[in-house]
């Protein structure tokens, strides 16, 4: 039995378990939209600018770990989508972006909107292609799902010329066969790395988002406990380690100071980090301290031993590697080595406890400050939000530090960020909520970033998505001001921070949210916070609290 290609596409989505199609349509997507009408099992989620459906799909896909589907409109739609495709590339988001293409019967005449979509998308995606015969539609769609989901996960783009969607497909719909990537590490490499771990005086484990795909976080915690090894978060755009673990020492950071943070370690083991040392600023040289050994275990061969001298690389499942390494340690450590690991672990535990106490003291000291201190805001969020809350965004330069210090993220899917291109958190929060309907979902927004995808508020109302937004409103592009201070260094020059202060008219997200009757409030005084946050959390549907916080920018990061 043959199927019309547009129906075959929908049937394939169902075979993949797709529930939502995020998108924004145009005239070259009419066949696609027409077919959707016959598939009520697929909910179309509309965004009023491509940033919105793309960011929603990003949040949704990272919370489910399976490819999300987005449909956008030919050259202009894809162009708008590309900033979020870039985020998906950086976030390792499995995502199938389908894009309409002009009617192939006259595409050679260069009709309106027709462009080389594949060439345009290719540099930022794992795979981009255009269907050229209806009969190939299912094969290419399955390939799209396979490539997006295969670690390292990432976005793919499939161009669907509109006339071909009305052609015929003879092949039956079958679900995609996904690559089983959970390979075990080479036992000889495990032995060598276990030896390095027992011989190191001061080892470090760096975590990353490729650990978030399975049970690697728990396995790495057990490994760290046996090895007596601190765990630092490498590039982390989503939850990949329990931050309340006594051996967790915080993030490596990406705003400079990377070399300094790593300088005391004689063995660094990066596990599932992708590119482990991604920084915004040039530091020169290598972040691996002189004489230190560097081991990289990952699902991504491209990122291993790519930039710096590396002692050992292992391509395998990070969870298997952590388990095998722990078992190798348990069966090979001498009593003296066990003792050394134990005393290291207790010293690290002591330091993390002291750091936490210090943060609580800072919270007390900041409690009554006006304008509201970001520390107080995060302290209040901690009180108002249930323990199993999933957070999207971390409140930018103002919120990130206090968020990391005060809120412990203990379970999978507790945190999603990823904002190389601004605009992710506001709609991303909505996508995460669709993926995790039983968890409270809080978007920690910032006013600058939110204006890149403000249309997401409409989508939140349209589909009544139950999220709570809290805005860290510092009335500026504070990160750029800090960057300017750093750039000017010790020079006498005073910056006017061109293009970095909003001034008047103020960016008041509570008023923007009120346009669509989202329960919202602007808070300027600390004493109002508790009630405002509690009331927002209680709303069944979207709500927003826009908090005017201290925007002072200090000397530098
Ligand atoms: C699409 C896009 N345009 C511009 C930038 C450059 N940029 C990076 S951070 C930033 C300012 C962010 O300000 P805000 O979101 O208010 O956070 P804050 O630094 O104040 O905490 C800008 C404009 C970007 N990353 N992405
Ligand atoms: Mg700001």
Q: What is the CATH number of the domain that holds 538?
A: 3.40.50.970
Dist. CA 2–CA 135, nearest whole Å? 10
Query: For a substitution probing ligand 1, which of 397, 422, 506 has the most ligand atoms within 8 Å of its CB?
Result: 422
Distance of CA 67 to the CA centre of its chain: 14
Please list the alpha-helical segments (H only) found in 439-477.
447-450, 456-462
Dist. CA 311–CA 334, nearest whole Å? 24
Instruction: Enumerate residues 6+ apart whose C-beta is below 8 A from 7.
Output: 35, 38
Task: Note whether 247 and 230 are within 8 A (CB).
Answer: yes
Task: Note whether 539 and 514 are within 8 A (CB).
Answer: no
Q: Could you tell me if the CB of 471 is within 6 A of ligand 1?
A: no
Residues 143-169: tens digit of each pLDDT: 999 999 999 999 999 999 999 999 999
Specify if 356 maps to a domain: no
Dist. CA 511–CA 270, nearest whole Å? 45
Dist. CA 475–CA 504, nearest whole Å? 10
Domain co-membership, 119 together with 245: no
**Which is the closest atom of ligand 1 to the Cα of 420?**
25
Specify if 176 maps to a domain: no
At which of 169, 202, 234 does a domain end? Answer: 169
| Residue position matching structure tokens 């990160």 | 479
Dist. CA 39–CA 446, nearest whole Å? 37
Domain co-membership, 459 together with 518: yes
| Residue position matching structure tokens 């920018």 | 553
Domain co-membership, 408 together with 276: no
Q: Specify the CATH number for the domain of residue 225.
A: 3.40.50.1220
- Residues β-bridged to residue 4: 168
**Which is the closest atom of ligand 1 to the Cα of 474?**
20
Specify if 179 maps to a domain: no
At which of 318, 350, 382 does a domain end? Answer: 350
At residue 257, the pLDDT reads 86
* CA triple 444-445-446, angle to 5 deg: 135
Give the residue numbers spanning the domain of 430.
367-548
Dist. CA 428–CA 156, nearest whole Å? 19
Dist. CA 261–CA 273, nearest whole Å? 17
Query: For a substitution probing ligand 1, which of 449, 454, 484, 557 has the most ligand atoms within 8 Å of its CB?
Result: 449
At which of 350, 382, 410 does a domain end? Answer: 350
| Residue position matching structure tokens 């412990």 | 408
Domain co-membership, 264 together with 373: no
Could you tell me the two tokens for 169?
């497909």
Domain co-membership, 146 together with 202: no
Specify if 102 maps to a domain: yes
Specify if 415 maps to a domain: yes
Say how many Å lie between the CA of residue 472 and the centre of ligand 1. 13
Dist. CA 238–CA 249, nearest whole Å? 17
At residue 557, the pLDDT reads 52
Q: Could you tell me if the CB of 159 is within 6 A of ligand 1?
A: no
Residues 456-505: tens digit of each pLDDT: 999 999 999 999 999 999 999 999 999 999 999 999 999 999 999 999 99
Which residue has its alpha carbon closest to ligand 1 atom 10?
477
Domain co-membership, 161 together with 210: no
Radius of gyration of the chain from its Cα atoms, rounded to whole angstroms: 25
Dist. CA 71–CA 9, nearest whole Å? 12
Domain co-membership, 378 together with 526: yes
Which residue has its alpha carbon closest to ligand 1 atom 4?
422
Dist. CA 19–CA 31, nearest whole Å? 19
Could you state, in chain order, the average pLDDT of each consecutive group of 10 residues for the chain (557 residues)?
Answer: 94 98 98 98 98 98 97 98 98 98 98 97 98 98 98 97 97 96 97 97 97 94 98 95 96 87 97 93 92 98 96 98 98 96 96 96 97 98 97 95 96 94 98 98 98 98 98 97 93 94 96 98 98 98 98 73
Alpha carbon distances (Å) from 515 to 56, 446, 511, 512, 518: 21, 19, 7, 6, 7
Which residue has its alpha carbon closest to ligand 1 atom 9?
479
Specify if 459 maps to a domain: yes
**Which is the closest atom of ligand 1 to the Cα of 449?**
15
Cis peptide before 152 (omega within 30 of 0): yes
Dist. CA 450–CA 520, nearest whole Å? 15
Per DSSP, 549 falls in state: B
Say how many Å lie between the CA of residue 546 and the centre of ligand 2. 12
What is the number of domains present in the chain?
A: 3
Domain co-membership, 158 together with 224: no
**Which is the closest atom of ligand 1 to the Cα of 421?**
26
Q: Smallest Cα–Cα separation from 59: which of 410, 407, 399, 417?
A: 417
Domain co-membership, 53 together with 89: yes
Alpha carbon distances (Å) from 41 to 3, 15, 59, 248: 18, 11, 21, 43
- Count of CB atoms situated within 10 Å of the CB of 280: 12
Q: Smallest Cα–Cα separation from 235: which of 212, 252, 256?
A: 252
Domain co-membership, 288 together with 216: yes
Specify if 355 maps to a domain: no
Specify if 555 maps to a domain: no
Q: Could you tell me if the CB of 445 is within 6 A of ligand 1?
A: no
Which residue has its alpha carbon closest to ligand 1 atom 11?
477
Instruction: Enumerate residues 6+ apart whose C-beta is below 8 A from 378.
Output: 395, 399, 402, 403, 405, 406, 407
Could you tell me the two tokens for 469?
């937004």
Task: Note whether 227 and 203 are within 8 A (CB).
Answer: yes
- Residues β-bridged to residue 233: 207, 251
Say how many Å lie between the CA of residue 433 and the centre of ligand 2. 24
Could you tell me the two tokens for 131?
């269907």
Say how many Å lie between the CA of residue 478 and the centre of ligand 2. 5
Residue 421, CA atoms < 13 Å, CB-side half-sphere: 23
Distance of CA 365 to the CA centre of its chain: 32
At residue 555, the pLDDT reads 58
Q: Could you tell me if the CB of 398 is within 6 A of ligand 1?
A: yes
Could you tell me the two tokens for 456?
């997401």
Domain co-membership, 204 together with 138: no
Sign of torsion, CA 77 79 80 85?
positive
Backbone angles phi, psi at 58, to 5 degrees: -60, -50
Domain co-membership, 542 together with 423: yes
Dist. CA 109–CA 182, nearest whole Å? 48
Distance of CA 470 to the CA centre of its chain: 18
Task: Note whether 5 and 168 are within 8 A (CB).
Answer: yes
Dist. CA 428–CA 456, nearest whole Å? 9
Q: Could you tell me if the CB of 447 is within 6 A of ligand 1?
A: yes
Max distance between CA atoms of the chain, in angstroms, equals: 77
């Amino acid at each position: 039995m043959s199927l019309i290609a547009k129906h075959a596409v929908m049937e394939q989505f169902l075979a993949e378990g797709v529930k939502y199609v995020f998108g924004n349509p145009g005239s070259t997507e009419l066949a696609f939209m027409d077919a959707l009408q016959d598939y009520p099992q697929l909910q179309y989620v509309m965004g009023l600018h491509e940033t919105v459906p793309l960011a929603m799909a990003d949040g949704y896909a990272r919370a489910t770990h399976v490819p999300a589907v987005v449909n956008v409109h030919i050259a202009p739609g894809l162009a708008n989508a590309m900033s979020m495709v870039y985020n998906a590339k950086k976030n390792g988001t499995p995502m199938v972006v389908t894009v309409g293409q002009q009617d192939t019967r006259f595409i050679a005449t260069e009709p309106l909107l027709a462009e080389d979509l594949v060439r345009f998308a290719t540099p930022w995606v794992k795979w981009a292609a255009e269907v050229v015969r209806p009969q190939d539609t299912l094969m290419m769609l399955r390939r799209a799902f396979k490539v997006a989901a295969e670690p390292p996960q990432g976005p793919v783009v499939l161009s669907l010329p509109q006339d071909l969607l009305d052609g015929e497909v003879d092949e039956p719909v079958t679900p995609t066969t996904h690559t089983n990537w959970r390979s075990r590490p080479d036992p000889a490499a495990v032995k060598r790395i276990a030896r390095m771990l027992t011989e190191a005086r001061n080892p470090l484990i760096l975590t990353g988002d490729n650990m978030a795909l399975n049970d690697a976080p728990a396995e790495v915690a057990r490994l760290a406990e046996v090895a007596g090894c601190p765990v630092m978060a490498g590039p982390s755009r989503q939850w990949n380690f329990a931050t309340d673990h006594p051996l967790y020492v915080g993030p490596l950071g990406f705003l400079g100071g990377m070399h300094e943070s790593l300088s005391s370690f004689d063995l660094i083991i990066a596990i599932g980090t992708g590119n482990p040392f991604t920084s915004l600023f040039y530091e020169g040289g290598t972040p691996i301290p002189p004489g230190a050994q560097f081991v990289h275990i990952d699902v991504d061969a491209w990122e291993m031993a790519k930039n710096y001298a590396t002692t050992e690389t292992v391509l395998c499942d990070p969870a298997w590697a952590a388990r095998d390494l722990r078992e190798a340690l348990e069966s090979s450590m001498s009593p003296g080595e066990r003792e050394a690991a134990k005393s290291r672990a207790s010293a690290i535990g002591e330091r993390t406890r002291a750091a936490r106490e210090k943060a609580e003291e800072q919270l007390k000291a900041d409690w009554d400050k006006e304008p509201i201190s970001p520390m107080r805001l995060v302290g209040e969020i901690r009180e108002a939000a249930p323990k199993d809350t999933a957070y999207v965004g971390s409140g930018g330069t103002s919120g990130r530090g206090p968020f990391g210090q005060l809120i412990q993220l203990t379970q999978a899917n507790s945190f999603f960020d990823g904002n190389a291109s601004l605009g992710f958190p506001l709609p991303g929060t909505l996508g995460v909520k669709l993926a995790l309907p039983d968890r409270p979902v809080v978007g920690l927004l910032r006013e600058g970033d939110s204006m890149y995808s403000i249309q997401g508020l409409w989508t939140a109302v349209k589909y009544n998505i139950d999220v709570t937004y809290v805005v860290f409103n510092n009335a500026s592009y504070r990160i750029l001001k800090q960057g300017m201070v750093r750039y000017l260094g010790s020079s006498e020059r005073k910056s006017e921070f061109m293009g970095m202060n909003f001034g008047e008219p103020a960016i008041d997200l509570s008023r923007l949210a009120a346009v669509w009757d989202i329960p919202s409030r602007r808070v300027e005084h600390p004493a109002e916070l508790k009630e405002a946050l509690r009331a927002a959390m209680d709303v069944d549907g979207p709500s927003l609290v826009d908090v005017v916080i201290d925007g002072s920018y200090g000397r530098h990061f």
